[in-house]
Amino acid sequence: MQRLSKILVSRGIASRRKCEEIIKNNRVKVNNQLITLPQFMVDEKKDLIELDNIKISKKEKKVYYILNKPAGYLSTNCPYTKKKKVIDLFPKKPRIFTVGRLDKNSKGLLIITNDGYLAHKIMHPSSNIEKEYLVYTEQKITSKHTKIISKGIIIKNRIIKPVSLKKISFNSVSIIVKEGKKHEIRLFLKNANLKVKDLIRIRIGFLKLKNLKEGEYRNMTKKEIDKFLFFIP
């Protein structure tokens, strides 16, 4: 017997935290009974598990991709939205999900997989992984702007600051963060009265976007996968 949330992770539905949310949001049935407790115990060999009324298949081969996300796509697996989703750019099988997210108007590096364990390792705060963004603004960026951005902002009663900030050109900066708070890059710029023209994630830890064209994806190499699986605390 295993926890329902653990089984969903092992079958590549999503990360552990996301699987718990899915269960709590009335989307999972076990033997035709709606289950809302992630810790509900399930016999993987005997019980019928359904997500959104679709039977969840047995363990599938793990897949790992990196994508240069184009603007206009949502980082969601929600089956009820008619808007364009990142996963629409990939084959329908196996079931995959994004590791973390970029908002609809942002571009750049995203990891896509069906490996919940890898997703959990990358997203968990203890992994301390840097994310680097290249931001273009509508206005000229001055030293006053960079000082304001560097001081950070308050999110949920906590001061959140960039790890580092580097001016690239008259209207672009590189910002490195570790927190991964929702919309934090845009909030940094908004706090400095700067309007974002373009926001591109160019790095996650050691993994760089490099020459991957917008909308293109590739398989992660074994070396890249192993670095995330075995060399992150």
Catalytic site positions? 103
By C-alpha distance, which of 107, 112, 113, 111 is closest to 69?
107
By C-alpha distance, which of 140, 167, 117, 133 is closest to 13?
117
By C-alpha distance, which of 134, 153, 147, 151 is closest to 196?
134
Which residues have a Cβ under 8 Å from the Cβ of 54 and sit 6 or more positions away?
none
By C-alpha distance, which of 128, 127, 122 is closest to 101?
122
Partnered with residue 218 across adjacent β-strands are: 66
* Residue 171 burial class via C-beta count within 10 angstroms: exposed 0-12, middle 13-18, buried 19 and up: middle
